[in-house]
Structure formats: C-alpha cells, structure tokens
C-alpha cells in the first residue's frame, strides 16, 4: 500500500472510527460532511496503455490483489473507447470468466488481453461510460497465469467516486470545468 493510500483522509477516518468503536456516529458524520469522500479517479494526459500515444485518460486508484503466487497491482484506465484493467501479472483468459461487474448490473465479459497483462473491455464505450458514471463500485474478476495448476478467480473492487467528474474533464481534454464563483 502506498504512503498516500495509508494516510488518505478516508483511511484515517475509518481508523479513527474503528478505534473509537462509534461506527454509526462516524457513518452519520461522513454523510453530513461529504468532503471527506475522496475522488478515486483522475483525468490526466498520459501514454495510452493500448497505443502508447499520449491522450487524456481516466485512471482509478491502484488496488492490490493476490495473483496466486504474490501480490500484484491493478488499475482501471478508461481511454474513451475502452476500459483497460492493467495488472503487473500475466492474465489467463482460458476459463472465459474474466469480467467486470458494476454494482448489481449484469456482468460484462472479456477475453481480450493486450500485452499479456491488460484486460480490455471495448464492447460499447458509451454504454460502459454511462454505467461507470452511474455506478458506485466496479468489481473486476481476474484469473492469472499459469493455467496449471489453475489459480482461482480474484475479485478486485474499485470505487467509482469521481468517475463522472473525471469523465467530464475528459470531454474538455483533461481540463476541469472552470468555477463560476456562484453557488448552485
């Protein structure tokens, strides 16, 4: 876990709530003060994981999961036409069970692997973007190489907080909306 993830305001709030054993009070406080909820997505010009050309990308916070042998980092990257699940470990599509689930919506399956470590969802980018904009949690189910002995499927959860705002910035070539100064 990175130093940022260990010291984020939401992580500190959860730690305080656990220590004080006042989970209900803390949950109510978090609802009253939504500024404590951090955006889990950013928009920035970076090399596209598919083409390696610079473009505006939406990137999730990195998560860590086991790959059957060690820990691996997993990040979601939306480039406007595809959602790419980037890992540090080689993926195994042979069981046809690699998928994305947003909240309780039907699973989206993919067996398209790029560079052995990137799972690509590019069936319908507009529908996928809308699903991510309206969702709360995205879970990807990954299976890693080697095929024998077969490893299990590993679910990795991502918050969708901030995806809509980052997606709006993507439409402006990664520029956030200008503040008008008025309160609406």
Omega within 30 of 0 (cis) for the link into 29: no
Count of structural domains within the chain = 2
Beta-carbon contacts of residue 184 (< 8 Å; ≥ 6 apart): none
Q: What is the pLDDT of residue 4?
A: 39
Question: In this structure, are 71 and 22 located in the same domain?
Answer: no
Residue 96 sits in which domain range?
Answer: 39-170
The region, left, alpha or beta by phi > 0 then psi within -120 to 50, assigned to residue 80 is left
Q: What angle do CA 167, 169, 171 make, to 5 degrees?
A: 75
36 closest CA partner among 14, 58, 18, 5: 14
Question: In this structure, are 17 and 54 located in the same domain?
Answer: no
Q: What is the pLDDT of residue 176?
A: 67
Q: Is 30 in a helix, a strand, or coil?
A: helix
Question: Is 95 within the bounds of a domain?
Answer: yes
Question: Could you give the CA distance from residue 53 to residue 69 in angstroms, rounded to a whole number?
Answer: 32
Output the domain CATH number for residue 69.
Answer: 2.60.40.1880
pTM value surpassing 0.85: no
Question: In this structure, are 93 and 150 located in the same domain?
Answer: yes
Question: Could you give the CA distance from residue 52 to residue 46 in angstroms, rounded to a whole number?
Answer: 9
Question: In this structure, are 1 and 89 located in the same domain?
Answer: no
Q: What is the pLDDT along the chain (184 residues), one digit of tens a residue?
A: 444 344 444 444 444 444 444 444 444 434 333 333 467 999 999 999 988 999 999 999 999 999 988 999 999 999 999 999 999 999 999 899 999 999 999 999 998 999 999 999 998 999 999 999 999 999 999 999 886 677 789 999 999 999 999 999 998 888 765 544 444 3
Question: Is 148 within the bounds of a domain?
Answer: yes
Question: Is 158 within the bounds of a domain?
Answer: yes
Question: In this structure, are 76 and 110 located in the same domain?
Answer: yes
Residue 139's Cβ-count burial label (10 Å; 0-12, 13-18, 19+) is middle
């Amino acid at each position: 876990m990175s130093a940022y993830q260990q010291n984020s305001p939401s992580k500190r709030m959860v730690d305080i709530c656990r220590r004080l054993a006042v989970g209900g009070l803390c949950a109510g406080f978090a609802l009253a003060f939504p500024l404590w909820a951090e955006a889990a997505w950013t928009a920035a010009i970076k090399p596209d994981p598919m083409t390696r050309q610079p473009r505006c990308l939406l990137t999730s916070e990195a998560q860590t999961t086991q790959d059957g042998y060690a820990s691996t980092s997993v990040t979601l990257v939306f480039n406007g036409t595809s959602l790419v699940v980037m890992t540090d470990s080689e993926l195994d599509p042979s069981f046809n069970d690699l998928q994305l689930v947003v909240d309780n919506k039907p699973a989206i399956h993919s067996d398209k692997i790029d560079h052995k470590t990137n799972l690509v969802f590019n069936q319908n980018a507009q529908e996928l973007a809308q699903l991510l904009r309206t969702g709360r949690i995205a879970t990807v189910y990954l299976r890693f190489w080697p095929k024998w002995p077969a490893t299990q499927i590993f679910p990795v959860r991502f918050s969708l907080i901030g995806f809509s705002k980052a997606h709006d910035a993507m439409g402006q070539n990664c520029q956030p909306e200008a503040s008008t100064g008025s309160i609406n």
